[in-house]
Amino acid sequence: MKKHYNTILSLLESCKTFGQLKQIHGLTITTTVVKNIIPLSRLIDFCTTAESRNLSYAKLVFSQIDQPSVYIWNCMIRGYSGGDKPYEALILCREMQRRGHMPDNFTFPFVLKACSICCDPDCGRCVHNCIVKTGFEVDVYASTGLLNMYASCGYMELAHKVFDEIPKWNVVAWTSLIAGLVNSNQASEAITVFKEMMHWNVEPNEITMVNVMVSCARTRDIETGKWAHNHIRQLGFDPFVSPVRFNVILATAILDMYAKCGSLKTARDLFDRMPLRNLVAWNSLIAAYSQYGRAKEALGLFFDMKTAGLEPDKATFLSIFDACATSGALALGQALHACVIKASIHEDTATGTALLDMYAKMGDLTSAQQVFNEVKNKDVMAWTSMIIGLAMHGRGEEALVIFKRMQETGTVIPDQITYIGVLCACSHLGLVEEGQRQFNSMTDVCGIVPTVEHYGCMVDLLSRAGRLEEAERFLEKMPAEPSVAIWGALLNGCEIYENVALADRLRSQMTELKQAFGSGVYVLLSNIYARAGRWEAVNLSRDLMKHKRVPKTLGCSSVETNFD
């Protein structure tokens, strides 16, 4: 009996595969070792660790144990918290308490992980209370778990509070806080926290630096990014210097930092030096080429990727559809549309949106609408892309119909971009009252603070309709300096409706500004004065250019070019 017991324990020790485990389990039954808690614990441990997880088998063994120890409960909870049914971990934890076992310092990290994955901060709060009640709030693992739980549920104030109460901040606690800030779109705060961590002389590790790189990428802070890269080198784990144990995630994060900040040459160089490139690395560089207007190179890299044997995923398609749109590669776009359908991701919200956006930009609104109709869960961006696509192509009525349908869903709330499309549609249709109504409900009902673009749309709308005084009033209300396009829209109205007095006022206002104006504005002004026979004023308008030493090339608008 004792001999069997020891044999089984040593067999379990060296057990590598699930097949072996089942044999050993059989052995415990035939040798009646089965009731002994230690081999059972080992069995459960094996079935609940990440590499060899088999939860149904673990559950089977578990159900045959009369009095599971806390260790066994913990293993089961660990297994579920890392599996595809994390809420089962929460149920098990409750069951464990019902059967008279209090969770311990090992239980909490697992349960909190389950709360994070389930995004269940209410449950997380209960666990928090339990941690306080059982006196484990001083445990660094429990606190870090809490910190992560709050951060991943978006409760950064609570995460901060937990962090502040940790007695001694180690690198993991700092990194958790940094990661939490990154995940809740507070990348610049993450950098601040990182600098504070350095101030406390806590040495960052690779995971810290991944988060720092992501923060620099998101904030386009290449200065800190370069500094951090250099620091990684000094710490001796720059994957591009010592690729012995190449950390592909850190390498990709560094690559992406340079890529997002527009240092495409450096990014490309690093990419070429990577001994191992995963899909994320390819996607990062493809996205950068696409976003920095180098569509041809994005497409080239995409084909290289296919040659290298990698299959594009959603992220790849997003960049590629954009690149197709800007380079006018309709045939390729259509072929990839077929690929997307084959991979059955055409119903995916982001993919569908990128696809419809591509068709809309190329003027194929029929296809754009078809794609739009097939998108399963249309979010704001899907609706907005469709609205802007229609508005851009002079199909304002349909744009407004789509907007109405969007409001009727009652679940999708328009954002500031949606309203740009809506106001643009009104402007092209000459629907002054409708445009004003929409502008008001945007601010009053939706609480959106209008940006320069929104005011620009209103100025454009009113100018086209000849309601120049109202347009001027909008100009005065603008939160920032009007863009060239807005001055242009108003001057355009002055020209059409022959309002020289307003043109005069605008000219003197514009002369006061530091901003540069292109020859378009000058031409407009000159025309207005010339038509009114005010030849002496034509020279005044020329001052607008002379003073600011503006090159005679046209500074065209963002508002106009995007939507006309």
Q: How far is CA 98 from CA 91, 94, 121, in A?
A: 11, 6, 22
Closest distance of CB 490 from DNA, Å: 30
Residue 49 C-beta: closest distance to DNA, Å:
6
Q: Segment contacting DNA (CB under 7 A): 14-22, 122-130, 207-215, 514-522?
A: 207-215
**112 with 124: CB under 8 angstroms?**
yes
Closer residue to DNA in complex, CB, 318/362: 318
Least CB distance from residue 535 to DNA, whole Å? 49
At closest approach, how far in Å is the CB of 244 from DNA? 15
Contact set for DNA, span 302-321 (CB under 7 A)? 313-316, 318-319
**Minimum Å distance from CB 370 to DNA?**
17
Residues in contact with DNA, shown as a per-residue x/- string from 54 to 73 under the rule CB under 7 A: ---------------xxx--
**CB of residue 516 to DNA, shortest distance in Å:** 29
Residues 6+ away with beta carbon under 8 Å from 418: 380, 383, 384, 387, 403, 406
Smaller CB distance to DNA: residue 215 or 436?
A: 215
Among 186, 211, 224, 557, binds DNA (CB under 7 A): 211
Task: Report d(CA 335, CA 331) in Å as an integer.
Answer: 6
Q: How far apart are CA 438 and CA 352, in angstroms?
A: 27
The Cα–Cα gap between 514 and 520 comes to: 17
Q: Residue 85 gets which letter from DSSP?
A: -
Binding segment (CB under 7 A) for DNA, from list 86-94, 280-288, 295-303, 437-445: 280-288
> Residue 6, interface with DNA (CB under 7 A)?
no
CA separation for the pair 466, 480 (Å, rounded): 24
Among 111, 214, 325, 388, binds DNA (CB under 7 A): 214
Tokens matching residue 429 = 């249709």
Which is nearer to DNA, 38 or 532 (by Cβ)? 38
In eight-state DSSP terms, residue 50 is G
- Of residues 284, 436, 438, 483, which one binds DNA by CB under 7 A? 284
Pick out residues in 168-197 that bind DNA (CB under 7 A): 170-173, 175-176, 179, 182-183
What separation, in Å, do the N-terminal and C-terminal C-alpha atoms of the chain show?
A: 86
Window 359-418: residues binding DNA (CB under 7 A): 379, 381-382
Yes or no: say if 500 and 536 are a contact pair by the CB < 8 Å rule. no
Give the C-alpha separation, 408 to 518, whole Å. Answer: 43
- Kindly state the number of chain residues that form the binding site for DNA, as judged by CB under 7 A: 74
CB of 291 to DNA, least distance (A): 6
**CA–CA separation, 261 and 527 (whole Å):** 42
CA separation (Å) from 155 to 130, 147, 160, 489? 19, 9, 9, 44
Could you tell me which of 96, 80, 14 has the C-alpha nearest to residue 47? 80
Q: Which is nearer to DNA, 208 or 369 (CB)?
A: 208
Output the smallest distance, CB 72 to DNA, in A: 7
Residue 394 phi, psi (nearest 5): 70, 20
Binding residues for DNA restricted to 240-279, rule: CB under 7 A: 247-250, 252-253, 256, 260, 278-279
Comparing CB distances to DNA, the nearer of 43 and 458 is 43
Burial class (CB in 10 A: 0-12, 13-18, 19+), 159: buried
CB of 372 or CB of 455, closer to DNA: 372
**Helices 70-81 & 55-63, crossing angle to 10 degrees?**
160
Q: Which of residues 89-148 bind DNA (CB under 7 A)?
A: 104-106, 109-110, 113, 139-142, 144-145, 148
Shortest Å distance, C-beta 85 to DNA: 17
